[in-house]
Amino acid sequence: MNKRLNYIGVLALLLFAACGNEKKTEQQEVKKVSTPVVKTDTVKPIPEEQFVECTSDSLNELAKMIAGIKEEQAKVLGNAFSDPAFKAHSASWNKKWLQFDITRMVKLQAFRNNEIAVNVGKTKTVFYPFSGPDILYGYTFFPDADQYILMGLEPVGTRPLYDEPKEERDSLQKYFAKINTSLYAILQFSFFRTASMSVDLKNEKLDGTLHLLMLFLARTGNTICDVQPVVIDTMGEVKHIASFIKLKTVKSSNKGIEIKFTSVDKKNKTLYYYSTNLADGGLKHNKGLLKYLNNIGEFNTYLKGASYLMHKDYFSVVRNFILKQSRHVVQDDSGIAFHYFEKEGNWEYKFYGSYMHPIPMFSDFYQADLDSLYKVKGSKDIGFGIGYNFKDRNSNFMIATRK
């Protein structure tokens, strides 16, 4: 490593500056976001003539490196994209992404255009609880949204490759190997395995959702403007933290990430991911998160691979919140049990695919009423596999719309 560029060190330095300003004083360490979360019905779209594209060379190059996308004119990472470890990672990921694109992505986009866009219409805010780092499906199904709010138990993480190893090439190889392992399920089956994520995202190389969120945003053609660590305070307001290292020391039940990015169609968007407990027991003592959720206003909810948690009594708070404030709920059967929609009596439905008994792990959550309705009302073909019954002929999907 005598004269070789220490890529890990460069990554640490650039994210040290881009993801958190360590020059702030302790009094400045936590500050209020300049544009707080507001009710979506008061958000006005940015006029085309006022649009100003934002970008960050350092963050975009880093995101591309994580995603295995070659940057021909790197301004910050120099020759890092010529490193053998990156080349191997890039070749592997280009092959995987092409396979995903031709076998799954084109079908997801067709379903979005023909069904979700037609029945849901314009989306301001997408609420995607129990998501883990799955902005891939959230963004693919709702590309027009201004704001994405994802929540899960998975940790936020720190700057990718922050801890500089003794030997850079081995470190890159190990890091890229962790990336590949963690993304196997989402590409093959459409969902993250919760048990696997608890291991995959808690190691020294890959320590949280930040890495995978950046990867998916890069692979779906977005340009990253800014990445900041945040928390939701006791008043339900989003506050910036000085750095991801500082975030680890902050006492908060709602640690998160704020990613500002520009989409392919030149729209400025914001993604939030919060590591938080959505069970009733967790929310009971989390008044700040409840206030934050109530302040969102009307939104559209997306649920997939949600472990049937909201079928249970002790996830009633988040379930009732979704039913109260959602204009549309787009989900598979692992989201909200159908009888909760029927109990309210003010929802209309469109069904897709086939309703089958849940996989053995979740066999207790079979829904006879949903099965009956599928048989009586019928459903449209879905054309792809999604959720726990990910085989095409076994998958189900529902779009529920408030009357």
Find, among 50, 63, 101, the residue nearest to 225 by Cα.
63
From residue 259, alpha-carbon distances to 144, 243, 307 in Å are: 16, 14, 27
What is the DSSP code string of 147-181? Answer: EEEEEESS----STT-S--SSHHHHHHHHHHHHHH
pLDDT by residue (tens digit) across 28-62?
443 444 434 434 344 445 455 466 777 788 899 98
Q: In the chain, how long is the greatest CA-to-CA distance?
A: 72
- Quick: pLDDT tens for 239-251: 999 998 899 899 9
CB 125 within 8 Å of CB 300: yes
Give 338 or 93, the one with higher predicted confidence. Answer: 338
Per the DSSP assignment, residues forming a β-bridge with 402 are 347
The owner of tokens 């095409």 is 392
How distant is the alpha carbon of residue 139 from its chain centre? 8
Q: How far apart are CA 296 and CA 3, in angstroms?
A: 52
Q: Is 5 exposed, middle or buried (0-12, 13-18, 19+ CB in 10 A)?
A: middle
The answer to whether 228 and 30 are in contact (CB under 8 A) is no
DSSP-assigned letters across all residues of 28-45 = GSEEE-SS----GGGPPP
C-alpha–C-alpha distance, residues 146 and 298, integer Å: 13
Instruction: Please tell me what DSSP assigns to residue 54.
Output: -
Q: How confident is the model over 274-290, as a mean pLDDT?
A: 95
**pLDDT 10s digits, 188-226:** 554 444 444 444 445 555 567 888 899 999 999 999 999
Q: 86-95, 144-153, 334-343 — which is least confidently predicted?
A: 86-95
- The rounded distance, in Å, linking the Cα atoms of 272 and 369 is 35
pLDDT of 110-163, one tens digit each?
999 999 999 999 999 999 999 988 999 999 999 999 999 999 998 888 765 433
Q: CB 9: neighbour CB atoms within 10 A? A: 13
Output 54 or 370, whichever has higher pLDDT: 370
What is the C-alpha separation between 329 and 121, in angstroms, rounded?
A: 12
For the chain, the domains span 25-402
CB atoms within 10 A of CB 17: 12
Residue 15 has pLDDT above 90, yes or no: no
Average pLDDT of the residues in 23-28: 38
pLDDT, residue 203, reads 53
Tokens 């998958």 — which residue?
A: 395
Tens-place pLDDT, residues 304-316: 989 999 999 999 9
* Averaged pLDDT score across all residues of the chain: 82
Percent helix, strand and coil across the chain, each rounded to 5? 45, 15, 40
- Check pLDDT > 50 for residue 65: yes
Quote the tokens at residue 42: 């008061």
pLDDT of residue 37: 40
φ/ψ of residue 274, rounded to 5: -120, 130
